[in-house]
Chain A
Amino acid sequence: MNAIILTAIWGVLMMLGGAFIKSKATPKYLAIFGLAVIIAANCMQLNSSMPFFDIDVKNMLHFNSFNLMFINVAFGCTLLFFLLSGRDIEKVGENVSEYFALIFFILCGVALISTFNSLLMLFIGIEIVSIPLYILTGSDKRNLKSNEAALKYFLMGAFSTGIMLLGIAFLYGGSATGSFFIDNIIAGNGPMPPMIAAGLVLLLISMSFKVSAAPFHFWTPDVYDGAPTVFTSFMATIVKAAAFFAFVRLFENAFGSMQFQWQKLIVILIAATLLTGNLTAVFQQSVKRMLAYSSIAQAGFMLFSLFALNNLAKEGLILYAAAYSLASIGMFAILIKMKDYTIDGFNGLGKQQPLLAVTATIFLLSLTGIPLTAGFQSKFFMLMAAVQTGHHIWLVIFAVLCAAISAYYYFRVIQAMFFKEAASDEVVLAGDITPAFKILLVITATGIIVLGLFPHFLTNWLYF
C-alpha cells in the first residue's frame, strides 16, 4: 500500500513542482530521493506488514512477501536506472520533471499490477502503466521516428487493452458468482465452460502483447527503436518484468487449477517467442534494435515461469526480473553514451574505455547466461522449474539451443569492443563519462556477479 500511494503522491508533486523548479538537475535529485524513500517504506511494509496507510481495499489488492519483494526489485532497478541514466533523461527535452513524474505514475501502476486481486485492479494498473509510456515514447517531439513509435504503440496498445476488457467481461459473465476477484473465477478443475475459455484466451492474447511474446511482438522492435534510448531502457526492463509478474499472478491465481488445459498454448508461445526473438536478433546491425529483439528472446525464457507455475518458477521470475533488468539497464546506459548505435560503433571501445568495455562484457555475459553471472542463475532456475514439471522436456532443450544462438549476437558486441580496432582514431563515445557513472557501472556489475554466486540473497526473502 505504501508504494502505491507514495508513488502517486510523489508523481503529482513532481509534476506540479515542474512549474516552479527552473534548474534542470533538481528534478533528478528529487526523483532519486523520493524513490529511495518509497523503497524504504516498502521495505518497512515487507518486514512488519503494517502499512502507513491502513486503507480497507475490500480484498481488491493482496500484499504478501512475494508481491512486495517484486515491487522492491522493480523499484530498486528504477533507482539504479535514475542514477545511471538520470543525466540522459535531462537531455531528452525541456520538461524534465514531467518525465520523472510520468515514471512515478508508471511505478504506481507497476505496484498495482503486482498486487492486484481483482481484474478491475489489473485493468486499471495496466492502463496506468501504459498511458504514461505512450507519452514517454513520443517525448522526443521533433524526432519523426519517436512520433511514429508513440502512435504505433498507442494504437496497438489501445487495441490490446480492448481485447483485455472483452476478456474480463467474459470472465465476469462466466464465473459462477459474477465476480471480478481472480480467485473466484474458477471453482474446481473440470473442463472449462466456453465463456471462461474465451475470456482466458483473450486475456492471454492481451497479456502476451504487453510482454511482447510472439506472435504478438511486432510492435516491440519499432517502439523500442523509436523511443528515446533512456526510455527504451526503462520500458524493456522494469515495465516488461512487471507485466510478466502480472501475467503469472493472473494465470496462477485465476486459472492455476486448470493449468493442463491451457499449458499447450503457453508451450506454443514459448517456442514461437524464443525462435523469432533469437533468430531476428542475429540479423540486427544496430545494438539498440538487437537489444529490442533480445528482450523478446528473454521474454521467451521468462514465459517458462508461466509454464511451470511452481515455487522454483516464482523464485526464478523474481531473479530473472532482477538479473535481466540490471544487465539491460547497464547495457543501455553504456549504449546511450555511444556515438554510433551500430555494432561497428563499438569497435575499439575496449582500448579507449576499458572499464566501460569490461562492465559491458559482464552485462552481455549475464544476458547470454554464462555461469558466475545473475543471468545464468535466472536461466538455471527457469530451466529447473520447467524440468520439475516433468513433461515437455523437448521445450527445455529447444530453449537452451536458442540460448546458444543468443551467444552469437551478444558476443558480436564483445568482439567489436575488444578484438576490432576503431576505424579512425576518433573517440567512439559521444557523451562524457563521469567518475560517478563508472562507479555505478562497477556496482551494477558487482551486483550481477554477487547474484550469480548467491542467488539466495534475493530469493530467500520470499519466505519471510
Chain B
Amino acid sequence: MNQNIWITFPELLIWFPLVAGLVAFIIRKEKAVKNWAILASLITLSISIVSLVYADNTKHLHLNNVSYFWLRYLGSNFTLGLDGMGHMLTALTAIAFPLIFIAGNKTNYKNTHVFYGLMLLTQSGLMGVFTAMDLLVFYFFWELAVIPAYFLCSRWGGEKRIQATFKFFVYTFTGSLLMLVGIIYLYMHTLPTANAEHSFSMHAVYSAILSPAEKNWIFWLFFIAFAIKMPVFPFHTWQPDTYEQAPTSTTMVLSGIMVKMGVFAVIRWIIPVFPDAVTKFDNIVIGLSVTGMIYASLIAIKQDDLKRFVAYSSIAHIGLMCAAIFTKTEIGLQGVMIQMFSHGINIIGMWIVVDLIEKQTGTRKISELGGIAHKAPALTIFLVVIALANIALPLTNAFVGEFMMFSGLFKFNIIYTAVAGLSIVLAAVYTLNMVQKVFYGEVNAVTETLHDISLNQKLVLAVLVVFVFLFGIYPQPLFDLTKDTVTAIITRIK
C-alpha cells in the first residue's frame, strides 16, 4: 500500500455515513436533522463521484484498496476494495440516499433523529457489503445492514409492521446463518498464509481446495442466503409483506439497493468460488428464477395494492437477473451489471410516485384511484416514463440491460428464453393496466382533491428520468466501469 494515502475511497464511503448517522442521533431538532441527513448523503455522493474519477484500478489501485490487520491469527483482515462492480453499486447507493431523503422531506416521522440516524447507518452497512474483500468482513456488513433496516421497518411502518418485518428478519437471519456455516467450511479449506493457518481473504477463498461434492452442498448454503435476499422464488414470501408495511423511504432502500446485495453477492462470492457447482445446478436455479418471473408477473396483474404491485414486479425483474447470472455468459453478466443500476433507479422512481399518491389520497388501492392525469399532469409524465422504463422499452435504461440478459439466456437455452420472454408481455400488461386505471379514466371522489407535485419532488423525479434516458441512450459509461469485473469473472470460470 502507498504510504502517502491516509484514507481511501472505500473507507470514506463506509465511515462517513456511519459517523453522520451517529451524529444524527444527537440532533434533536426535526428540521435540522432532515437537513443534516440530506447534507451528509450529498457529501457521500460527492465522495462517490470523486471515486468514480479514480475508478481505473490499473492506475489508482492504492486509492481503491485498503487492508488493516483485524483478527490476524484467524487470517481475517479488514480488507476493503472497489472494483468496477463495487464502484457502480456504491455509486448507486450514494445517488439513491439523497434522492430518498429529498423525496421524503415532507414526511414527518416520530423521533425523526432516530429515523434518519438509522437510515444513514443502513447506508454505511450497504457500502460495507459492496466494498468488502474479505469473507468475514463481508458477513459482518451483510448482517449489519439488516439490523437498522429491521428497526426502521418495525418502528415506523404500517399496521402489521411488526409481524411482517420480523418475518423478513427471520428469513434473512436464517439464510445468513446457513451462509456462516458455508463460510467456516470454506475457510477451513483455504491454504495457510504467513500469519494464520487459514484465511478469509477473497483470493484465499477463491482458491480454496474442496472436492466437487463439498462444493456442491456449500454452494447451496451460500445460494439460499442470497436467494432469500434477492429474493428468488420460492424464498420471496417475506418481500411483498415487508415492502407493503415498511415506511416508504425504507422500502426504497430495501428494494432499490438491499436486494442488489443478493445479486452482487452471487456474482462476487458464488460464481468465482463454485464455478462447477454453478454449472451443475444452473438448470435448477434458472428454472426457479423463470418460474418466479412468471408467477410474480401473474400475481402483479391481480394486485390491487400499489405497494404490493411494485413489490411483485420487482420479484419478476430480480428473477431475470438471477437467471442471467447463472447462464455464465459474458453478455448476460454485463446485462446484470447494467440492470442492477437501472433497476435501482427505476424502482426508487416507482416508489416515490406511489408514495406521493398515497400521501395525497390516503389510499393505495388501484381500484379506488383514477383520473390522476387530469389533476397532476407533471406527476403523470414522470410516472409514465418510469413505468415504461420498468417494462424495458427501448431508449430507456432497463432496455439495454434486459436485452443483454435475454441474449445471455438465449445462448444458454432457448426454452427458458421463450418462457421468460412471456414476462415482458406480462410486465406490459400489468404496468399499462395500472397506469390506465390509476392515471386515466374519470376523476373520482378520492382523487378530486389531488394537486400536482411540488418543486422538490419534480426535481427528484427529473433526476431519475435523466438517468433513465441517459443510460438508455448512452450506456457506455456503465459498460466501461464494470467491464473489468465481468472479464475477470469470465476468465476465472473458463
Contact = CB atoms under 8 A, between A and B. Distances in A.
Contacts of B184: 380, 383-384, 387, 396
Contacts of A388: 188
Nearest to A396: B181
A132 B173 CA distance: 41
A455 interface: yes
B140 A372 contact: yes
Contacts of B178: 397, 400-401
Interface string B188-225: 10000000000000000000000000000000010000
B188 to A, nearest CB: 5
A404 B170 contact: yes
| Prevailing SS type, chain B contact patch | helix
B170 to A, nearest CB: 6
Interface stretch (B147-155, B331-339, B340-348): B147-155
B180 interface: yes
Identify the interface centre among B71, B72, B155: most chain A CB within 10 Å of its CB.
B71
A403 interface: yes
Contact of B143 (A370, A383, A384, A408): A370
B174 A401 contact: yes
Interface string B413-448: 000000000000000000000000000000000000
A411 interface: yes
Contacts of B469: none
Contacts of A365: 147
A411 B169 contact: yes
A418 interface: yes
Interface in A386-422: 387-388, 390, 393, 396-397, 400-401, 403-404, 407-408, 411, 415, 418-420
Interface residues of A, number: 28
Contacts of B72: 456
A387 B185 contact: yes
B52 interface: no
B139 interface: yes
A418 B169 contact: no
A371 interface: yes
Nearest to B137: A371
B344 to A, nearest CB: 25
Interface string B142-182: 01100100010011000001100010011001100110110
A407 B173 contact: yes
A372 B144 contact: yes
Given A384-B184, A404-B174, A371 B73 contact: no
Contacts of B188: 384, 387-388, 390
A226 B185 CA distance: 42
B144 A419 contact: no
A63 to B, nearest CB: 24
A419 B139 CA distance: 27
B142 to A, nearest CB: 8
B181 A408 contact: no
Contacts of B155: 418-419
A393 B185 contact: yes
Contacts of B71: 454-456
Nearest to B177: A400
B139 to A, nearest CB: 7
A383 B181 contact: yes
A415 B139 CA distance: 25
A411 B151 CA distance: 11
Interface string B54-92: 000000000000000001110000000000000000000
Contacts of B154: 415, 418-419
B295 to A, nearest CB: 26
A393 B178 CA distance: 11
Contacts of A372: 140, 144
A308 to B, nearest CB: 12
A407 B177 CA distance: 11
Nearest to A361: B151
A460 B140 CA distance: 22
Contacts of B181: 383, 387, 393, 396-397, 400
Contact of B180 (A383, A419, A460): A383
Nearest to B150: A411
Contacts of B187: 384
A372 B181 CA distance: 18
A459 B288 CA distance: 45
B170 A456 contact: no
Contacts of B166: 408, 411, 415
Contacts of A387: 181, 184-185, 188
A456 B174 CA distance: 27
Nearest to A402: B177
Interface in A403-456: 403-404, 407-408, 411, 415, 418-420, 454-456
A456 B184 CA distance: 18
B113 to A, nearest CB: 12
Contacts of B143: 370-371
Nearest to A350: B155
Interface in A362-388: 365, 370-372, 380, 383-384, 387-388
A400 B139 CA distance: 15
Contacts of A403: 177
Nearest to A400: B177
Given A383-B180, A393-B181, A397-B181, A407 B162 contact: no
A386 to B, nearest CB: 9
Nearest to A377: B71
A396 B217 CA distance: 14
A259 B178 CA distance: 27
B140 A371 contact: yes
Contacts of B151: 418
Contact of B73 (A390, A418, A456): A456
A32 B165 CA distance: 44
Contacts of A418: 151, 154-155
B241 to A, nearest CB: 16
A309 B161 CA distance: 44
Nearest to A397: B181
A404 B167 CA distance: 12
A407 B170 contact: yes
Contacts of A411: 166, 169
The 7 closest A-B pairs by CB, nearest first: A400-B177, A404-B174, A371-B140, A371-B143, A387-B184, A419-B154, A384-B184
Given A387-B188, A390-B188, A404-B177, 5 more contacts: A380-B180, A393-B181, A393-B185, A397-B221, A415-B154
26 contacts: A365-B147, A370-B147, A371-B139, A371-B143, A380-B184, A383-B184, A384-B187, A387-B185, A393-B181, A396-B181, A396-B184, A397-B221, A400-B177, A400-B178, A400-B180, A401-B177, A403-B177, A404-B177, A407-B173, A408-B170, A415-B162, A420-B162, A454-B71, A455-B71, A456-B72, A460-B73
